[in-house]
Amino acid sequence: MEKDGLFYRTLTVKRGDSAELRKCMDDVVQNLLNNRTDFNRPGMLLGKIQSGKTAAFIGIIALAFDNSYDMAVILTKGTKALAEQTMRRLRRDFHELVEDDKVQIHDILIFPDYLPKWVLNQKLIVVAKKETNNLRRLIDALEHTYPDLSNRKLLIVDDEADYASIGFTVNVPMKSVELTKIASQINALRNKVAASDYLQVTATPYSLYLQPDDIDMNTHSVVFKPIKPAFTVTLPSYPGYVGGDFYFNERNDENSLASFVYVPITEEELNVLRKEDRRVFKLEDSLTSQKIYMLRNAIIQFIVGACIRRIQQRDHGKREKKYSFVVHTERQKDAHAWQERVVKAIRESLIKSVNTNPKLLKRLITNAYQNLSKSVALLGAGAPDVNEVIDEVVQSLKGDCLIIVVVNSDQEAAQLLDDKGQLKLTTPMNIYIGGQILDRGITIDNLIGFYYGRRPKRYQQDTVLQHSRMFGNRLKEDLSVTRFYTALPIYDAMDRINEFDCALRDEFDKFGHDAGVVFIYKDPNNKILPCSPNKIKLSATTTLKPYKRMLPYGFQTKPKNSAQQIMNTLDELIDDIQEHRMLVQPFKIDLQTAKLIVDRIHRMFIYDYGYEWDCEAFKACMEFLSYDSSIPSEKGKIWCLVRQNREASRIKQDGSFFDAPDTSSTEGAIAKRAAINIPMLMLFRQNGEKSDGWRGQSFWWPVLVAPANTRTTVFTREAIELN
């Protein structure tokens, strides 16, 4: 393979690509040359969200051009803004080669009806949206307008590949797998040229990997095997990349900036932002109304955070950066117009208060500063003096440094892109309000505030993770003033999906194309059965993997008069399973007894909103993990560990709910030694003292630990009908 050709050398030198990125691109093209890729066995470039996939596939095209490929078609998601973003990236990266007449770059919607042969002899890149009209025009160009192109060697790059690309739906009555229209057109495109290869580029490949070859609806024990790509190359994350590991996995690490990032908002506030209702909220109350308390705080913290960073940059002789904040809660344009009015009312009230109510303004700035300074201090340098920050905020408000922009159409987004194909930051502080156009692919630099409230009926892996505009290249100093605002149920769903993402990615990393993932659900007859990946409702999933902990938290005990009798029964039951001995080591119990204990514990609790314990899912996972043992004598059994006289607090020092009645060094170590093939149920008898935030009622706190030999398994308590 030629690695020092004109296209690749020009591109990589210009961009200063790292050795890791070049190796990734080399591996992809080498695999394309060595393997036959097509619609059923594509090549796969697997990256993370906002991790530089576009730069990678542009480099792959350049290297492919040096190695016998003549033409590339890039298939983008079906929005004009994303197609325009891709076009601008291509024109920037290939600028010198375009100027030297080495390559032509075209959008299929404005593809010329006539190009002379001299032009057609150049390399050719065509960008098309994954939309029927775009693909029809592309096929027509190859078949009728420029039939000579059919003799070229074509590389199809399918950006953000998902179900729209692979395109299988399941016909349940016929128990058959059928091809969708978009997928048929992509397949037809391949057949219009003499030679082609098909590369899929995605951060959410699960609908591709996990699409079953066939579905046996009568099988009771099944691992769905993926359609196997001809090869998979993993895109390395660049040094400044921040993704799900930070926003979700590190949240409970008090030494991580992530512990400060998530801020809960209420469903009631999100409803206020759907449409105007003066009975609930008046614009003139924007600085005082509790109805938009978190949005107001979020905007003020964004302004203060941007000012802190700009002061720090100025003090260190660095260029002062511009910052961005996104409000993304609804798809409807009417909602965006109302949100724009609300945010503008907050801005105008802040500006007005500089002269009319400086005490209120100072208090709002100081409160935001106190919040942000705690996370800034974690980096060691500390925040600038509060009075300096107050002055900076005042000058920024007076200087019109904060703008609000609505982005809710392809045309608007395309007009707002800079020469890098990213949303252009016009002033030091930029607030973007939008819907679907902000869902996927659009890059937003220096994002330090994300107010998110999309509440779909069905959370989909490909969709929800791609909403995470806060993923990407982020400096630690910027993360110290970054906040992510969303309702707890939404955050919980995103956390589950991120866990799902991490577990499946681990499977791919460990086992490659041999990965298989178990999908199970509990049917109306309380039977645990396998199901197709298509049936998984991700907002209702539990991802099982080795040593996964499952437990309730965010609960309170019922009043003593209704809880004590249940507690007495539990004490007797747990005493009986210990055979009236204080057993220190774990022991085995029947699954049915464990379910009975869990049921009675569940009856003792009441829950804060968003923290409801899914007891049925807990028991179903316990059942699956017990019967999944490879040792027949262990099926229907689980390990049990009992601990007494515990005094866990209900609330942590940071105000969040305590969620660790066990410790990894003690009980966690015991679980890892014992729970090899079957799970362990740990039962902690808490004293429940009022001084610890409880009601003075003792209770049992359960923790379920998955065994070491757990296969990656996705359980849903709510299977959906297949489309």
* Token pair 């969303």: residue: 486
> 113 in a domain, yes or no?
yes
Last residue of a domain, one of 187, 203, 234: 234
CA distances from 332 to 259, 276, 336, 433 (A): 33, 13, 7, 11
> 507 in a domain, yes or no?
no
Return d(Cα 240, Cα 266) in angstroms, integer.
Answer: 32
Q: Which of 249, 306, 326, 252 is nearest to 477 (CA)?
A: 306
Task: Name the H helices within 235-357.
Answer: 244, 258-261, 267-272, 293-315, 333-356
69 & 217 share domain: yes
228 & 247 share domain: no
227 & 270 share domain: no
- Which H or E run includes 169? strand 168-171
Q: Cα 239–241–244 angle (5° rounding)? A: 140
485 & 528 share domain: no
Write down the pLDDT at residue 221.
Answer: 38
Last residue of a domain, one of 187, 208, 234: 234
230 & 260 share domain: no
189 & 251 share domain: no
Residue 439 gets which letter from DSSP? S
- Sign of the CA dihedral running 689, 693, 696, 697: negative
Return d(Cα 411, Cα 84) in angstroms, integer.
Answer: 10
452 & 563 share domain: no
Share of residues in the chain with pLDDT > 90 (%): 49
Environment class of residue 632 by beta-carbon count within 10 Å: exposed (0-12), middle (13-18) or buried (19+)?
exposed
Structure tokens at 53: 């996939």
Residue 48 pLDDT grade (very low, low, confident, very high; cuts 50, 70, 90): confident
User: Is 25 or 456 the better-scoring residue by pLDDT?
Assistant: 25
258 & 337 share domain: yes
- Which H or E run includes 26? helix 19-34
> 723 in a domain, yes or no?
no
Structure tokens at 332: 């409807």
Strands 587-590 and 637-646: antiparallel
438 & 547 share domain: no
Position 235 pLDDT exceeds 50: yes
Last residue of a domain, one of 234, 252, 283: 234
Position 134 pLDDT exceeds 50: yes
Range of the domain at 56: 6-234
223 & 255 share domain: no
Structural domain total, the chain: 3
695 & 712 share domain: yes
φ/ψ region of 355 (left if φ > 0, alpha if ψ in -120 to 50, else beta) reads alpha
- Which H or E run includes 645? strand 637-646
- Rounded to the nearest 10°, the torsion over CA 338, 341, 344, 350 is -100
pTM: 0.73
> 381 in a domain, yes or no?
yes
213 & 277 share domain: no
**Model confidence over 241-285: pLDDT tens digits?**
888 888 888 887 888 899 899 998 888 999 999 999 999 999 999
Contact between 92 and 103 under an 8 Å Cβ cutoff? The reply is no
121-125, 379-383, 653-657: which has the minimum mean pLDDT? 653-657
Residue 648 pLDDT grade (very low, low, confident, very high; cuts 50, 70, 90): very high
Task: Name the H helices within 480-611.
Answer: 488-511, 560-577, 591-603
